[in-house]
Amino acid sequence: MTELKNQESRQPGRRRTLLLALLLASLIGLLYARPSWRHDAGATAARATHAVLLIAGMSPRDVYVWRLRLAGLYDTPIGLAWREAVAAARPTALDNRQQARLVFRPETVRARVFETPLARGMALRWRLSRAAPDSGRLFASLQHSDDGRASADWHTVATLHADGRPHQYTARDNGHYRLVFQPELGVSIQARLAIVRGGSLPFPVVGGHEYDIGGGFGAPRDGGKRRHKGVDIFADRDTAVRAVVDGRVSTGNGGLGGHYIFLSSGFIGPRFYYAHLDHFAVKSGTRVDAGQIIGYVGNSGNAAGGPTHLHFGVYVAGGAIDPAPFIRPMPNLPGD
């Protein structure tokens, strides 16, 4: 009786194993019975693998390199040429406003690279579009490096999409940035790139210009006892000043800044300092939109008796940083 019970207890496990084996055999039979089903199953598996790799943090270009390895092309002459094309490319220096035609032919292996230095607070704005008959994939990315050498450690900070729409990236760190364009092997691609470089914020003084800036960041003050922690933008008394971001204002009065405003967009982002104001346009604690008038130029605080101007500063966790890159003029994209 004991032996019979043991046999009965093993029967459900045996039945489960048999059913799984029959199911697997049926699936294999179906795949071999219809080539289209076999192809669809392979395509589905490939798409699933591709999605997993992207979720794991690999860029589309990294995934393509992985596919070259699976296809046995990674260490072949053409695979090596493709992997080294970016390092072999001669970079084009970016101007403040530029456009380029990107042409890649199936019989050549090459990449196009555009480089520019950016200070924190500057921005790149671009529009990338492709010709309608094109086929194949174009890998396009924005990368950052501290020193800008071809052999340096470049990190992808944004992926570019050829959707014909304007996009913008604001530099979070000083350094060198490059736009990299490279198609997959054996495809013909034509694309157009329009790109501009400038400040990421609107000018804080309404009607003001970059040439209205007098005292620069870091200039000595009080006989060298301290350094200037912002820029001075000279304007007539009661000229309006605007919020450069959406955020909340905190007003105050006293010290070197006289009537001043701190504008904060959140816990993480920079805080923006407006000093020597004549008077305020908003109450402390008010939430404002970018472009909204928040105060008026004056010469309060230690600027009393001197020319009216706005002292504009940018503060981050490490202290004051140069505001000038943030408020440089941003040209219109070619074609706008």
User: What CATH number should be reported for the domain holding residue 255?
Assistant: 2.70.70.10
Any domain includes 97: yes
Write down the pLDDT at residue 151. 64
- What are the phi and psi torsion angles at 261 (to 5°)? -135, 135
**Mean pLDDT value of segment 282-299:** 98
Q: Are residues 124 and 232 in the same domain?
A: no
Any domain includes 117: yes
Residue 29 has pLDDT above 80, yes or no: no
**Furthest CA-CA distance within the chain:** 110
Q: How far is CA 297 from CA 192, 232, 234, 274, 322, in A?
A: 44, 11, 9, 9, 20
Any domain includes 2: no
CATH label of the domain that carries residue 175: 2.60.120.680
Query: How large a percentage of the chain has pLDDT more than 90?
Result: 67
CA distance 294 to 282: 5
Give the chain's length: 336
Helix (H) or strand (E) holding 81: helix 77-83
DSSP state letters, 55-85? HTT--HHHHHHHHHHHTT-TTSHHHHHHHTH
**Mean pLDDT value of segment 240-267:** 96
Any domain includes 67: no
183 close to 114: Cβ distance less than 8 angstroms: no
Helix (H) or strand (E) holding 197: strand 189-199
Q: Which tokens in the block code for residue 197? A: 């470089």
Residue 50 has pLDDT above 50, yes or no: no
Any domain includes 261: yes
Q: How far is CA 128 from CA 78, 116, 138, 171, in A?
A: 27, 18, 11, 19
Residue 150 has pLDDT above 70, yes or no: no
Residue 4 has pLDDT above 60, yes or no: no
Residue 184 has pLDDT above 70, yes or no: yes
**Mean pLDDT value of segment 192-218:** 93
Write down the pLDDT at residue 5. 36
- What are the phi and psi torsion angles at 15 (to 5°)? -60, -40
Any domain includes 125: yes
Q: Are residues 122 and 152 in the same domain?
A: yes
Full domain range(s) for residue 154: 77-199
Any domain includes 93: yes
b/e string for 1-37 if b means 16 or more Cβ within 10 A? eeeeeeeeeeeeeeeeeeeeeeeeeeeeeeeeeeeee
10 Å Cβ neighbour count for 256? 15
10 Å Cβ neighbour count for 220? 10
Domain total for the chain?
A: 2
Write down the pLDDT at residue 214. 86
CA distance 84 to 11: 60
Q: Are residues 230 and 275 in the same domain?
A: yes
Task: Give one word for 334, left, alpha or beta, with left for phi > 0 and alpha for psi -120 to 50.
Answer: beta
134 close to 80: Cβ distance less than 8 angstroms: no
Q: Which of 169-178, 205-214, 224-233, 264-273 has the lowest mean pLDDT?
A: 224-233
Tens digits of residue pLDDT in 82-113:
999 999 999 999 999 999 999 999 999 999 99
Helix (H) or strand (E) holding 294: strand 293-297
Q: Which of 41-50, 162-171, 203-212, 239-248 has the lowest mean pLDDT?
A: 41-50
Residue 291 has pLDDT above 90, yes or no: yes
Write down the pLDDT at residue 335. 81
- The pLDDT confidence band at residue 267, using thresholds 50, 70 and 90, is confident
Residue 3 has pLDDT above 50, yes or no: no
Any domain includes 316: yes
Q: Which residue has the higher pLDDT, 53 or 120?
A: 120
DSSP state letters, 240-269? EEE-SSSEEEEEEE-STTSEEEEEE--SSS
**Mean pLDDT value of segment 110-124:** 96
Write down the pLDDT at residue 215. 80
- Looking at residue 24, its amino acid is L
Q: Are residues 307 and 215 in the same domain?
A: yes
Averaged pLDDT score across all residues of the chain: 85
Write down the pLDDT at residue 2. 31
Q: Report the DSSP beta bridge partners of residue 195.
A: 98, 126
Write down the pLDDT at residue 187. 92
Q: Which residue has the higher pLDDT, 282 or 153?
A: 282
Which has the closest alpha carbon to 182: 150, 130, 144, 137? 137
Residue 314 has pLDDT above 70, yes or no: yes
